[in-house]
Amino acid sequence: MSQLFSLTAFVRDFLGIELEINTVETDKTYDPPLGRVAAKFDLYAEDKKNRIIVDIQHVRFPDHYHRFLHYHCAALLEQVVNSSDYRPRLKIFTLVVLTSGNKHKTDLAMIDFDPKDLQGNSLGEIEHKIIYICPKYLNKNLTPHQCHEWMEAIEDSLDEQIEESHYTRPEIQQIFSLIETDQITPQERAKMFDEYSYEAIKAEIKQEIKAEIKQEGFQQGLKEGEQKAKTELARQLLSLGSLTEVQIAQVTGLSLEQVKALAAC
């Protein structure tokens, strides 16, 4: 019930929806899967009007916007049973917590499925939404006030130095047990990496760094940008704890001594 309590409060503050649910499913899948890729949801809840999906993304991959769009659409299509009425019974809301941040460095981003006229006015036909939440980029001035404490709590939980006394709301305190990184086993972390290409991750990091260099007017050059990309990737892999220092050196192209130095920081 504590998980349910936290989820309903979380959804209320980010979506403005009051859920009336009795249970929450974890690691939800569809059998048989919809489409060619099986969707799996960290948290999955329903009431009479809404279907809520919450996914915690601990590793930053280049395709996470597309991947969670796929998951969201799977939850939408699962409701359409025949061609007599394409309107789903439930409204679908997907909340993706990107704990490692994103290349756009935005605190909150949303995909709103409602059609709009050429003046940008919503028609009020389709209420499904996807919200990408990046606690790392919380903006004290621009992030909606009701989201602040949630995002601070999530970010605080990731550095493993949680000051729980800083958070007064009981539902905020309960979110720590939901987000804690040590709830993901080394096997699960390794599986997450097995599904994706290290080269894609390195390419994205390298592209971000090159863009930053160009934007800031620096002339460090490609070689320094590549070294910085390798270092950033090594830090991400070390934080996950699923690979040995030797394996991280092999993946990133850094020397073992360099990896050990990063691990000691």
- One domain, residues 89 and 111: yes
Higher local confidence (pLDDT), 54 or 223: 54
- One domain, residues 257 and 157: no
Q: Is the pTM of this model over 0.95?
A: no
pLDDT tens by residue, 64-99: 888 889 889 888 888 877 677 788 889 999 999 988
User: Considering 183, 200, 230, which residue would you say is the last residue of a domain?
Assistant: 183
- One domain, residues 100 and 204: no
- Classify residue 35 by its DSSP letter: S
Residues in CB range of 68: below 8 A, 6 or more apart: 55, 57, 94, 96, 130, 132
Backbone φ, ψ for residue 48 (5° rounding): -70, -15
What's the confidence (pLDDT) of residue 4? 59
What's the confidence (pLDDT) of residue 144? 93
- One domain, residues 255 and 142: no
Higher local confidence (pLDDT), 79 or 15: 15
- One domain, residues 106 and 193: no
What's the confidence (pLDDT) of residue 165? 66
Residues in CB range of 169: below 8 A, 6 or more apart: 9, 149
Decide the pairing of beta strands 40-46 and 50-57: antiparallel
- One domain, residues 72 and 139: yes
Stretch among 21-35, 86-100, 117-131 having the lowest mean pLDDT: 21-35
User: Considering 150, 183, 216, which residue would you say is the last residue of a domain?
Assistant: 183
Count of domains observed in the chain? 2
What's the confidence (pLDDT) of residue 264? 83
User: Considering 126, 149, 183, which residue would you say is the last residue of a domain?
Assistant: 183
pLDDT tens by residue, 188-216: 444 444 444 455 666 666 666 666 655 55
- 224-243 per-residue burial string, b: 16 or more CB within 10 A, e: under 16: ebbebbbbbbbebbbbbebb
Decide the pairing of beta strands 91-98 and 40-46: unpaired
- One domain, residues 28 and 126: yes
What residue numbers bound the domain in which 19 lies? 2-183
- One domain, residues 218 and 136: no
Are the beta carbons of 58 and 100 closer than 8 angstroms? Answer: yes
